Structure 1
Amino acid sequence: MEYKQALKQIAKGQFAPVYVCYGSESYLIQEFVQRLTEHLIEPEQRAFAVGRYDLAETPIDAVIEEAETLPFLAERKLVVASGAAFLTGAKESGKVEHNMDRLTAYLKAPAEFTVLVLTVSADKLDERKKIVKALKDADRLVPCGMLGEAELTQWLQQQADKAGFSFAPGAAEQLIQYAGTSLQTLVKEVEKCSLYIGSGGVITTDDLGQLVTKTVEQDIFQMVEHIVQMKMEDAFTMLAELLRRKEEPIKIVMLIARQFRIILQVKDMTQQGYSQQQIAGQIGVHPYAVKIAAGQAGRFDTGRLMSILQQLADLDYRMKSGKIDKVLGLELFLLRLAAA
């Protein structure tokens, strides 16, 4: 069941007896449970009609027993159980034993007065398992993975609309570059933008430069973009800022190498005919990062990228062995890139 489809059904008052929300985007999982709560349980009843369990501490038998128990002073109840790792291929710790037969039996005859939600932070479930096949056949799986590049930008615009402001052209994309692709982080940045610009205001890229607190990873992402565009003055300015903030030069080298490695992987897989969505899944990065890397890859041939990575590996070794001053080594690396 697609995430948006499930939300539309919930808004219409159509509830499935069991949902399994899985994926790496925890914000979407939280939003799904919140929407269910709002549409299923009256506000004054939520204290005793919503039960939450951690499956790392509670066996599934106890959760199902709760689901089969009549609600107290309410027509319906919501039972949410997080950490359903037994649905994935991950090795279970063995601290709690879960009876899958009990869950399979409940799936065939769920309580009419309960909506049961199982959640797990995993991109994939183990479809070799009978219970996962049963849940899939019953259309109870709700994927909550990372949004694609276009979806992410659209989602940001929608959040801005709800908050009463708008993004100037290019500003939503700039916010993603500054803050990353985590929805939880982006929500906080949208709130910050709303407070800054006020109702009816328009956030520009210049505003974002003052408002958004960037992580070192995002700064390196931007630095590499400056390098690719041969804006070396901007690259040196960003390096100086990172050093002023006491970022470790070896860490900076490692992150620059990671970004160039992504560029090389994207270039290689694009040449093999993979789509950007497929590449994102293969190398484990967000589709938006793949789109940016694909644009950057066009400015380098494969041999040049491999040479840059070798230079970074040599620089890392020389830094760690004390054969070169760390800051000087980074500056010389950027100068060589500019000269080339």
Structure 2
Amino acid sequence: MAIHLLTGDDESILRTAVGALVNDLVGGGDRSMMVDEFDAADYELRSVVDAAQTPPFLADKRVVIARDIGRFSTDEVAPLLAYIDNPLDTSEVVLVAGGGQTSKKLSDAAKANGKVHNTSPGRDKRSWVHDQIKQSGLKVDGSAANQLALWLGEDAGRLDGILATLASAYGAEAKISMAQIEPFLGEAGGVPPWDLTDAIMVGDTTKALTLLGRMLHAGGRHPMQVMSILHSHYSGIAKLDGAGARNETDAATVTGLKGFPAKKALQNFNKLGEANCKRAIIWLAQADLDLKGAKELDPELVMEVLVARLSKLS
């Protein structure tokens, strides 16, 4: 495989994946003789192509890394597209997303003539954490791996450092429990918005408040950002009030949502009912005013009261 395109929305995970891939490609060879890396802000793709077209010297292959490939426009990637159509057998070209939106033509060419590595964990963090642990060679029991996934939340990029620390502390052969992992953990990571809204909709006030705290602190979200998340969630539900939607298709037409989000909005509306849906909108409006200074209350307290009240509706 001569062409590799690595994508992902977490810079730390992406960087780790690039390092692992390059290590595999170099193997036992001399990195200084085999690798050409382009990561300066002003490098040109013509230089990348020239390096890829140069036969290796005192090695069996050349590895060419081009970072922040997204900063190049569709017109600017033309030389690289021409190379991808006819790559040199002795060159491995590693293209790393970043710097902007990767050209669709480049993505399509890499998919057709090489391999696209999507490093994003996705929504199923639990499976991703289990896979990463397996690849690391560590023996972490299933329960501990699940708890670690919950602790990481949105900060999946912290997993690589944790696994490296565990390997150093316990070795590859030891079976590691959560009690052995906890001393190396700091503050729990942030969480995705749907975790908070799901906890609210099932009426789990304690969990909802815990997740709110993680969003505000570890996640670094401002209370107004969380307010925006909740407003969007309940606005989608409120659109179904009086609409007579009976199925996912009807809900999609009314809300403008597609697929599962439309189905979930209908389920949530049916769960709340008309009266509670109106109460939620009123409470959101009042909390929004309080955040903007209507009452002299701590913004975090405003959000805690709001989340607690909303969770009681379910």
Same fold (TM over 0.5): yes
Determine what percentage of the aligned residue pairs are the same residue.
19
Instruction: For 1:112-127, list aligned pairs within 5 A.
Output: 112-121=89-98, 125-127=102-104
Confirm or deny that 1:313 pairs with 2:291. no
Q: So what's the TM-score if we normalise by structure 1?
A: 0.62
Cα deviation digits, residues 282-323 of structure 1 (max 9, x gap): 89xxx9xx8xx89x9488437545642542232122332343
* Contact 1:179 1:213 survives alignment (8 Å): no
Confirm or deny that 1:110 pairs with 2:87. yes
* Contact 2:6 2:119 survives alignment (8 Å): no
1:30 to partner: Cα distance: 4.0
Structure 1 pair 197–103 and aligned structure 2 pair: CA distance change class (3 A): closer
Query: How far apart, in 1, do the equivalents of 2:31 and 2:77 lie?
Result: 28
1:76 to 52, 58, 61: 61
1:261 to 232, 239, 246: 232
Give the secondary structure class of the aligned counterpart of 1:79: strand
Which amino acid in structure 2 is aligned with residue 115 of structure 1?
E
Query: How far apart, in 1, do the equivalents of 2:120 and 2:88 lie?
Result: 32
Residue correspondences, number: 293
Cα deviation digits, residues 253-288 of structure 1 (max 9, x gap): 6425515634775998x95369xxxxxx989xxx9x
1:180 to partner: Cα distance: 1.8
Instruction: For 1:295-306, list aligned pairs within 5 A.
Output: 297=268, 300-301=271-272, 303=274, 304=276
Give the secondary structure class of the aligned counterpart of 2:49: helix
Equivalence for 2:3: 18
Confirm or deny that 1:177 pairs with 2:156. no
Instruction: For 1:185-196, list aligned pairs within 5 A.
Output: 185-191=158-164
Which amino acid in structure 1 is aligned with residue 223 of structure 2?
I
1:203 to 172, 175, 178: 178
Instruction: For 1:51-200, list aligned pairs within 5 A.
Output: 51-54=36-39, 56-85=41-70, 98=76, 100=78, 102-121=79-98, 125-127=102-104, 129=105, 133-136=108-111, 138-144=112-118, 146-150=120-124, 152-161=125-134, 162=136, 164-169=138-143, 171-191=144-164, 199-200=174-175
* Contact 1:75 1:113 survives alignment (8 Å): yes
User: Please, what is the CA RMSD of the aligned residues?
Assistant: 4.9
* Contact 2:65 2:94 survives alignment (8 Å): yes
Which amino acid in structure 1 is aligned with residue 19 of structure 2?
Q
**Could you list the runs of 5+ residues in structure 1 that have no partner in the other structure?**
1-15, 90-96, 275-280
Q: So what's the TM-score if we normalise by structure 2?
A: 0.67
1:61 to partner: Cα distance: 0.8
Cα deviation digits, residues 59-89 of structure 1 (max 9, x gap): 1111111222232322211001012226777
1:25 to partner: Cα distance: 4.7
**Could you list the runs of 5+ residues in structure 2 that have no partner in the other structure?**
241-245, 251-256
Which amino acid in structure 2 is aligned with residue 70 of structure 1?
P
Structure 1 pair 256–210 and aligned structure 2 pair: CA distance change class (3 A): farther
1:116 to partner: Cα distance: 1.4
Structure 1 pair 310–164 and aligned structure 2 pair: CA distance change class (3 A): same
Cα deviation digits, residues 215-246 of structure 1 (max 9, x gap): 4x439877666644545466668879999x8x
Equivalence for 1:213: 187
